[in-house]
């Protein structure tokens, strides 16, 4: 991969170039102390230290969106979203988008948001309780900006750099900087599967579930949690079908017709979340979807961190 040197004001130049035909967003620290993704007008306003409370998934998979509307006998698809540019994305959230890209590869509405999304990555500073998953390849991005160097990771990224012409230095071969936080490898998939299967009676599950409030905060802020429900509403002579975020910690998540619930207890819901994060489902079975951002632990009101649950199980079960 090649990088080029860039001037000190490159970030603002890039923002202005993207704003011509994109709505530009970035994570910014609010006056209320919450970091959130919002319209960005100055490169210097990007949060350098904190991740946004809600990750980039809210851009490509909004908390609620219309799938179709029925009026009379006519079905109407949702409006096509305009192109967005998301700047200042840290590596963990870039890896999370890569996971969502694979999970929603055949979802046309997801693709209509994701394909025109221009991603600009930036280095992070280690946060409380975060770590980096081991990866042999850099995360996906269109551009990655680190101080006075910029990398292009896609064709449209390289094409955009051409706009800046002589202000950029000569291309040199170099890899994007690795995250500064420690890398924490996960046990092999087969070992994780055995750990999950053989630890069903481990008291740790009961102890952790007893503290869990089933509030769902961990799933809401997780950059790869993407369960959704489908809801129909009737208003003004129209039927609207929407999908909205669901949560595997809610008692209704596994409730089916007839009143049967596949996971009626918090312990079962906790183990289900563990399975989803570390073992995966369907075509992504064996793919760990935890990217180490640490949001779940920081936002849990009773300090439950699923990665620490994994560590404790590994130590107790002797993996």
For 5-38, the pLDDT digits (tens) are 999 999 999 999 999 999 999 999 999 999 999 9
**Locus of tokens 């012409």:** 165
Question: Any idea of the CA torsion for 9, 10, 14, 15, to the nearest 10 degrees?
Answer: -30
Q: How much is the pLDDT for 126? A: 77
Residue 239, classed as helix, strand or coil, is strand
For 229-268, the pLDDT digits (tens) are 999 999 999 999 999 999 999 999 999 999 999 999 999 9
Binning pLDDT at 50, 70 and 90, where does residue 308 land? confident
Asked if pLDDT for residue 122 goes beyond 80, the answer is yes
For 219-239, the pLDDT digits (tens) are 999 999 999 999 999 999 999
For 163-217, the pLDDT digits (tens) are 998 899 988 888 887 766 666 778 888 888 888 888 889 999 999 999 999 999 9
Q: How much is the pLDDT for 138? A: 81
Binning pLDDT at 50, 70 and 90, where does residue 319 land? low
Q: What is the CB neighbour count within 10 angstroms for residue 260?
A: 9
Residue of higher predicted confidence among 61 and 81: 61
Provide the strand spans (E) within 157-262: 172-173, 228-235, 238-245
In whole angstroms, give the CA distance from residue 141 to residue 226.
21
DSSP per-residue codes, 262-277: S--SHHHHHHHHHHHH
Q: How much is the pLDDT for 18? A: 97
Q: Average pLDDT in the 147-163 region?
A: 94
Mean model confidence pLDDT for the chain:
91
CB 306 within 8 A of CB 294: no
Q: How much is the pLDDT for 180? A: 62
Percent of the chain with pLDDT over 90: 74
Provide the 8-state DSSP code for 132. Answer: B
Binning pLDDT at 50, 70 and 90, where does residue 124 land? confident
Percent of the chain with pLDDT over 70: 97
Residue of higher predicted confidence among 57 and 175: 57
How much is the pTM? Answer: 0.91
Asked if pLDDT for residue 127 goes beyond 90, the answer is no
């Amino acid at each position: 991969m090649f990088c080029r040197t860039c001037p000190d004001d490159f970030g603002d130049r890039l923002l202005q170039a993207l704003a011509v035909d994109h709505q530009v967003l970035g994570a910014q620290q609010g006056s209320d102390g919450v970091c959130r993704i919002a319209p960005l007008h100055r490169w210097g306003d990007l949060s350098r230290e904190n991740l946004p409370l809600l990750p980039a998934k809210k851009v490509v998979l909004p908390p609620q969106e219309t799938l179709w509307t029925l009026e009379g006998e006519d079905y109407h698809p949702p409006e096509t979203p305009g192109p967005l540019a998301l700047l200042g994305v840290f590596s963990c959230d870039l890896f999370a988008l890569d996971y969502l890209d694979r999970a929603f590869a055949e979802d046309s509405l997801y693709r209509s948001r994701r394909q025109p999304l221009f991603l600009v990555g930036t280095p992070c500073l280690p946060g409380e309780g975060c770590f980096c998953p081991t990866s042999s390849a850099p995360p996906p991005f269109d551009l990655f900006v680190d101080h006075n160097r910029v990398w292009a990771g896609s064709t449209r990224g390289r094409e955009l750099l051409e706009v800046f012409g002589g202000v950029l230095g000569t291309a040199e071969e170099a890899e994007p900087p690795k995250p500064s936080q420690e890398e924490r490898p996960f046990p092999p998939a087969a070992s994780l599967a055995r750990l999950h299967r053989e630890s069903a009676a481990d008291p740790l599950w009961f102890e952790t579930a007893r503290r869990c409030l089933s509030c769902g905060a961990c799933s809401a802020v997780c950059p790869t949690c993407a369960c959704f429900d489908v809801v129909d509403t009737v208003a003004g002579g129209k039927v609207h079908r929407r999908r909205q975020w669901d949560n595997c910690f809610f008692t209704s998540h596994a409730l089916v017709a007839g009143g049967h619930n596949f996971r009626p207890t918090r312990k079962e819901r906790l183990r289900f979340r563990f399975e989803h994060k570390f073992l995966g489902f369907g075509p992504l079975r064996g793919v760990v979807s935890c990217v180490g951002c640490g949001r779940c632990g920081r936002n849990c009101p009773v300090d439950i961190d699923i990665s620490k649950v994994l560590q404790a199980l590994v130590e107790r079960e002797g993996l």
